[in-house]
Amino acid sequence: MGEIIEINGPIVTVQLPAVRNGEQVRIGAIGLLGEVIGLDGERAVVQVYESTESVKPGETAEALGHPLSVELGPGLLGQIFDGVQRPLPVIMEQSGDHIARGLAVPALDRARSWPFEPRGDLSAGDAISGGAVLGEVQETATIRQRILVPPGIKGELVEHAPAGEYTVDQVIARVRDTQGHIHKLRLYHRWPVRRARPYRARVHAADSLLTGQRILDTFFPLLKGGKAAVPGPFGAGKTVVQQQIARWSNADIVLYVGCGERGNELVDILETFPQLTDPYTGRSLMERTLLVANTSNMPVVAREASIYVGVTMAEYFRDQGYDVVMVADSTSRWAEALREVAGRLGQMPVEEGYPAYLASRLAAFYERAGRVETLAGEQGSVTLIGAVSPPGGDFSEPVTSHTKEIVRTFWALSKELADARHYPAVGWDESFSGYVDIAARWWAEQIDPSWAERRTQALNLLAHADELGRIVNLVGPEALSQEQRWVLEGAALVKEGVLQQSALDPVDSYCSPEKQFALLDLVLKVYEQGRELLRLGVPVEQISRLPVMGSVRRAKSAYPSDRVDELKAVDREVREAFDPIRMEYSAAEEKTA
């Protein structure tokens, strides 16, 4: 038992000999939870996850003997946890609408029982080691949780429970290790959040992570097991992009970590996800979703922890052989929490007040993404997508610039596009993806061999139009040739017909890869056919005024993903509108010739 010496906001100095760095500590009469982040002789510096108001020097401090850990087992899915994995609905039952301090609530429901089905090919006497599957629990209609031997345990299986209903606390297996110790295994186990869970080997990522968003999937693709960032100033639509990914991505499990963001955004997810259906399984989206919520008004230290709590749970599902996507909104708030603690400790700031270890912490976090061969020999992946909130929209600030060096897909949101209500406001000039070559193989095999070519054509068209746009701004459109004006029209078609995608439109919110390619191909064909007409001397105005151009622009919301074939009708419409003009002008050309 120790004693509190000093309280400085969330940083408390305690007299507590023999405590370890990283160990959990209970502080004061109300029992606030904290974590040792520094030692000085017999004194320990503790960062506390809850508000320290009304705590006095002289009150007690108690070391708990373990680092910050999470409970991993059935009961995680569909749940909403705070930054240190306390279930918020249970906290609501205990303390009402506001979060009281000092509550100790286990993450997993101890009273609920789960149908455990043991693995048939295992029996007493078998050698078994960490990561091996002991059996399965059907947690939701779509997700079967595999119950794993906790990493680090190795020995002989002495007892294996029969099929039946078990609570997470009940023993379902006993393992005798080489020293003769018996380990009791339950449906859940604990894991320290700041240590990455082990795997057998890293595997190259190869499958596209599809989000149903055209600008992401087609133009700046991400792979399962990849790492991506979404930076953007406020109001650029960061949250909507992240929520669209959480909704429509083709992962098995989605983890959404609301780190220092708005309370109402999490409520939005909590209220809408149960009603939305997963386009891949047809079941409620909430069955595969897990939320970690540390809103901006919740204590800042728990915000720092929430990212690690999230990624540890993601790794746990990866170890069962699932593809997991974790969306962290926002890593800037996490970095600010780091800065706040560093500032209170009096550490020397380097850039904009951030501590020197910001870059290495960021890199270490993103390194927990990846596709792996699990200890059980299966393949699973964790994809990390971090939102970044640069102050003033300035991408050269420390968090954005460090993140940019770490991630391989960078979806840069642009204030100009957002102001024009061009959503998703992902800018094509600043964004990049290092996965295009691998994704191209996937698209060529699954969708169309010309994907990579079409993608490049569209990006070149956009870049060319941006250049011409600058000229127009200087000297006006009169200076442009007919061909150049058609480039501007073509780029506008790409923007309106392909890039812009409404999250609120039930037809357009999700776009299958087939439809993505069909739309891109349609728009580019219109551009190419129009260019032929120009060669015959047709003025740009005559083409752009055709009513069929409106149909092309609106095709994205007229045909849902399961009726892609009908998009060909638009193609025919275009030809029917263009053909008479072509005939008229080619006849005129022949006459003059």
User: Toward other proteins, which CB reaches closer, 58 or 120?
Assistant: 58
Q: Which phi and psi (to 5°) does residue 256 adopt?
A: -115, 115
CB of 420 to other proteins, least distance (A): 4
Beta strand pairing status for 164-167 and 113-118?
Answer: antiparallel
CB of 86 to other proteins, least distance (A): 10
User: Toward other proteins, which CB reaches closer, 130 or 299?
Assistant: 299
User: Toward other proteins, which CB reaches closer, 218 or 389?
Assistant: 389
CB of 39 to other proteins, least distance (A): 18
CB of 518 to other proteins, least distance (A): 19
Q: How far is CA 17 from CA 2, 21, 506, in A?
A: 8, 11, 60
User: Toward other proteins, which CB reaches closer, 79 or 431?
Assistant: 79
Q: How far is CA 228 from CA 182, 222, 243, 324, 374, in A?
A: 43, 7, 15, 14, 23
List Cβ neighbours of 238 (8 Å cut-off, separation of 6 or more). 230, 231, 232, 329, 330, 387, 389, 413
Q: How far is CA 312 from CA 154, 192, 315, in A?
A: 22, 8, 5
263: part of which helix (H) or strand (E)? helix 263-272
CB of 468 to other proteins, least distance (A): 13
User: Toward other proteins, which CB reaches closer, 135 or 233?
Assistant: 233
User: Toward other proteins, which CB reaches closer, 51 or 129?
Assistant: 51
Query: What would you report as the CA-atom Rg of the chain, rounded to the nearest whole angstrom?
Result: 28
User: Toward other proteins, which CB reaches closer, 132 or 337?
Assistant: 337
Q: How far from the centroid of its chain's Cα atoms is residue 43's Cα? A: 39
Asked whether the beta carbons of 9 and 43 are under 8 A apart, the reply is no
Among 294, 315, 296, CA closest to 306: 294
349: part of which helix (H) or strand (E)? strand 349-351
Rounded CA gap, 521 and 448, in Å? Answer: 10
- DSSP string across 518-582: HHHHHHHHHHHHHHHHHHTT--HHHHHTSHHHHHHHHHHHHS-GGGGGGHHHHHHHHHHHHHHHH
Cis status, amide bond into 398, omega within 30 of 0: no
CB of 311 to other proteins, least distance (A): 20
CB of 502 to other proteins, least distance (A): 8
CB of 316 to other proteins, least distance (A): 22
User: Toward other proteins, which CB reaches closer, 15 or 138?
Assistant: 15
User: Toward other proteins, which CB reaches closer, 166 or 334?
Assistant: 334
Asked whether the beta carbons of 521 and 571 are under 8 A apart, the reply is no
CB of 148 to other proteins, least distance (A): 29
User: Toward other proteins, which CB reaches closer, 120 or 476?
Assistant: 476
CB of 268 to other proteins, least distance (A): 6
Rounded CA gap, 481 and 484, in Å? Answer: 5
Asked whether the beta carbons of 511 and 249 are under 8 A apart, the reply is no
CB of 113 to other proteins, least distance (A): 24
In a 3-state reduction of DSSP, which class is residue 9? coil
User: Toward other proteins, which CB reaches closer, 125 or 263?
Assistant: 263
